[in-house]
Amino acid sequence: MPIRVRFAPSPTGDLHIGGVRTALYNFLYARHEKGTFVLRIEDTDQKRNRDESLASIKDGLAWCGLTWDEGPHYQSLRLDRYRAAAAELEKTGRAYWQEDPEKGKALYFRIDREVINWKDLIHGPMGRDVSGDKDLVCVKSDGFPTYNFAVVVDDHDMAITHVLRGDDHIPNTPIQISLYRAFGWTPPEFGHLPMILAPDGSKLSKRETEKYRAMGLPVTVGDCRALGYLPETIVNYMALLGWSPGGDLEMMTLDDMVRLFTLDRVGNTQARFDVKKLLAMNGDHIRRCSIDRLAGLTRPYIESAYGPQPIETIRLVVQALHVRLDRLDKVAPAAKFAFTKIAYDPAAVTKVLKAEGAVAIVRELRAALADLPSFDQASIDALLKRVAENHQTKLANVAQPLRVAVTGGTVSPPIHDTLAILGRERVLARIDEAINLGPPVEVPRETWQFNTERLAREIRSARAASATEEDLKMRVEPVLQRAFESLGVAVDLVKYERGTGLRGRIDALYGFLVLEYESPGKLGTKGGLRESLDQIKRYMDAEAERAGTGDESKEKFVGVALDGDSIAFVRFSRSPGRLAVPLSLGPAQRLQFPDVPGFQVFGPFPINGASLRALLAYARAAGVGR
């Protein structure tokens, strides 16, 4: 007799991972035996049925590559057949109608009250005494059949020869055999598959779904896809949760499994889900995939995180990362360097970029990369090796500073792949930004002029777009942050409130960009600047004495005018000092310090290219920052 098996899910939720294994074993058995795999949808529970669940079942089976030969058959379309079968039982005296005060009138089946035995395909001889069981409801008051009744009629009508299902159905088997006897039909052979347990040995619980997902354990086919597992991985791994092909063979295609699958090698003990093994297997299958296929599969994860991206960039990313991936969803965080603005890890900058000679090597690489005829992996790799050889150092001593410069951290794909993914323009821009994080260096005036004038334009644009000072703060702060990153100092905006005494002398100042430095002792290390700052300090001390505020006024701000249109504010105190730049929407006002010849206070402060250059020069000369 030709083998006919079926997978019969209910459309009440996403396709469960245990259901995948049941469907897989039925599929493999049918294909191995040249039989027929039937899909039947048991949708008689009208209150719990969901259209989206039905779609999930079909899509999930298709995703796994489990194609059915017949169906899907829907129980909801076979109601007339169930009524006819019920009438047959009623006619032979095996069924009777009974009123239930709560559930209404229903048709009950008189079960065989004895020990009912069967030879299970998985467990061997089994049996259960149903003498004390209640009679079975066949047809509910709403006219729909119950599960145990409909499944017997369906399996008979569809000529199912073997029923392979989870061992949670063992209690149903003797009742169903009793129904087969009542109809005079030959029952199919039953095989009950042991349950799949959680990693800790407990039963997989729907209440723990979020915990399972967090550890990478997919509970449904939807989870498999969301967590980045390949369909061939899921099929391969689920086949081994209860079946062994023999020997040490583990990595298999679906065709391999069809060829090798036999029921005598299906175990009768429960299997634990091993997430580490699943991840390792997924990584192996990922490495077997073509880059073009992986680019298509990873694109949704990348674009969900970073928006639309060129497929060629995604392809380069995948080509560089796929050897390290054990889940496709991990490509998005791993490729962050390629799709977002760079963010430097302070620890990486301190350890790598600030190391002796690191910035010099990065500068040398910057020039060489700019002139490289072809910006591909092979050309970049050859260049890096050549530079390392010229410096008589390890390749890592060249690659790692460059990696931090272009990614912000110490971990990325191989450096030649990383640079090729970013492209020449972004690599050079990021190196320029990274060089400014290193120790102070002499930079040509033309470079400062270009950078500061560009920043001044951004500030003017931000000021024009700001309706309030809070708007201005939000827009200008990131712009000024970039302006002073080269100093390696902490930056924040503070509000300077109008007050009395010295504070009242500069009440036009509404906000400050504040740069921390280690101590006032480091200020004024070059020539007349120290003398000028000493004059300002004496002026502040005198102001404090006149105001009767003692040392408190040393926490106030006072200003130094440089180059006629720039201003630096310095606060002296026993604690670390600050260099501050005032910001405001209002017009500039000028206040004179008569006791400090040649110096003026400006507030609010008009920021432009010249003033930013002067302020940067002042900060470097004063030893602010590094």
Q: Is residue 204 part of a domain?
A: no
Q: Is residue 247 part of a domain?
A: no
431 and 474 part of one domain: no
Q: Is residue 329 part of a domain?
A: yes
Which of 80-89, 335-344, 398-407, 496-505 has the weakest average pLDDT?
Answer: 496-505
The CA R_g of the chain, rounded to the nearest whole Å, is 38
Could you tell me the CATH number of the domain that includes residue 177? 3.40.50.620
Domain range for 309: 299-339
Q: Is residue 293 part of a domain?
A: no
Q: Is residue 232 part of a domain?
A: no
The more confidently predicted of residues 608 and 236 is 236
Determine the pLDDT at residue 205: 82
* Final residue belonging to a domain, choices 386, 415, 435: 435
Could you tell me the CATH number of the domain that includes residue 383? 1.10.10.350
Q: Average pLDDT, whole number, for the chain?
A: 78
413 and 455 part of one domain: no
Residue 505 has pLDDT above 70, yes or no: no
Cα–Cα nearest to 368, from 354, 384, 391, 390: 384
595 and 539 part of one domain: yes
Contact 42, 214 (CB under 8 A): no
Contacts of 227-230 with C-beta under 8 Å, sequence gap 24+, read 227/327, 227/329, 228/282, 228/301, 228/325, 228/327, 228/328, 228/329, 228/330, 228/331, 229/278, 229/282, 229/327, 229/328, 230/282, 230/285, 230/286, 230/289, 230/297, 230/328
399 and 457 part of one domain: no
Determine the pLDDT at residue 564: 31
What torsion, rounded to 10 degrees, do the Cα atoms 444, 447, 451, 457 define?
110
pTM of the prediction? Answer: 0.69
pLDDT in tens, 173-199: 999 999 999 999 999 999 999 999 999
497 and 562 part of one domain: yes
Q: Is residue 481 part of a domain?
A: yes
16 and 162 part of one domain: yes
350 and 335 part of one domain: no
361 and 401 part of one domain: yes
Q: How many structural domains comprise the chain?
A: 4
Residue 599 has pLDDT above 80, yes or no: no
State the residue for tokens 């977002």.
Answer: 340
DSSP secondary-structure letter at 366? Answer: H
360 and 490 part of one domain: no
Determine the pLDDT at residue 46: 72
Phi, psi of 203 (to 5 degrees): -70, 140
Residue 145 has pLDDT above 90, yes or no: yes
Q: Is residue 406 part of a domain?
A: yes
481 and 588 part of one domain: yes
84 and 161 part of one domain: yes
Q: Is residue 177 part of a domain?
A: yes
Determine what percent of the chain is predicted with pLDDT higher than 90: 59
Residues 6+ apart with CB under 8 A from 136: 108, 109, 111, 146, 148, 149, 175, 179
14 and 124 part of one domain: yes
